[in-house]
Structure 1
Amino acid sequence: MKFENVYFITGTAYAGKSTMVKMLAEKHGGIECGENYHDALLPELDKEDFPCLTYTRDLVDWRDFVVRTPDEYERWVDGVSKECEILELRILEGIADKGRPVFVDTNISLETLGKITDRQHVLIMLAEPYISVSRFFDRPDREKQFLYQLLMAEKEPEKALENFRKCLMRINSPERNERFANSGFTVIRRDENRTPAETLELVEKAFGLDKEHFSR
Structure 2
Amino acid sequence: MDLKNVYFVIGTSYAGKSTIVKNLAKKHNGLALEENYHDEKLPELDSKEFPNLTYTRDLKDWHEFIRRTPDEYVTWINNVKKECEIVELQILEELLSKAENQDKKIFVDTNISIETLHKISDADHVLVMLSDPQISIHRFFDRPDPEKQFLYQLMLEEPDPQAALDNYREILTRICSKEEYEMLENSGFKVIYRDEDRTQEETVRLAEELLKITD
Question: Same fold, TM exceeding 0.5?
Answer: yes
The amino acid across from 1:121 in the alignment is H
Q: CA deviation at 1:183?
A: 1.0
For 1:193 and 1:163, how far apart are their aligned partners in 2?
33
Q: Which residue number corresponds to residue 118 of structure 1?
A: 122
The amino acid across from 1:182 in the alignment is N
For 1:148 and 1:56, how far apart are their aligned partners in 2?
16
For 1:174 and 1:198, how far apart are their aligned partners in 2?
27
Q: Which residue number corresponds to residue 172 of structure 1?
A: 176
Runs (4 or more) in structure 1 with deviation over 3 Å come to none
Q: CA deviation at 1:118?
A: 2.1
- 1:30 matched to 2:30? The reply is yes
Q: CA deviation at 1:2?
A: 4.3
Q: Which residue number corresponds to residue 72 of structure 1?
A: 72
CA RMSD in angstroms comes to 0.9
Paired residues for 1:89-100 under 5 Å = 89-96=89-96, 98=101, 99-100=103-104
The amino acid across from 2:109 in the alignment is D
Q: Percent identity?
A: 58
Q: Which residue number corresponds to residue 41 of structure 2?
A: 41
Gap runs ≥5 in structure 2 = none
Gap runs ≥5 in structure 1 = none
Q: CA deviation at 1:132?
A: 0.7
- Across the two proteins, how many residue pairs are aligned to each other? 211
Does structure 2 retain, via aligned residues, the 8 Å contact 1:6–1:96?
Answer: no
Does structure 2 retain, via aligned residues, the 8 Å contact 1:4–1:118?
Answer: no
Q: Which residue number corresponds to residue 141 of structure 2?
A: 137
What TM-score, normalized by structure 2, do the two folds share?
Answer: 0.96
Q: CA deviation at 1:51?
A: 0.6
- 1:193 matched to 2:197? The reply is yes
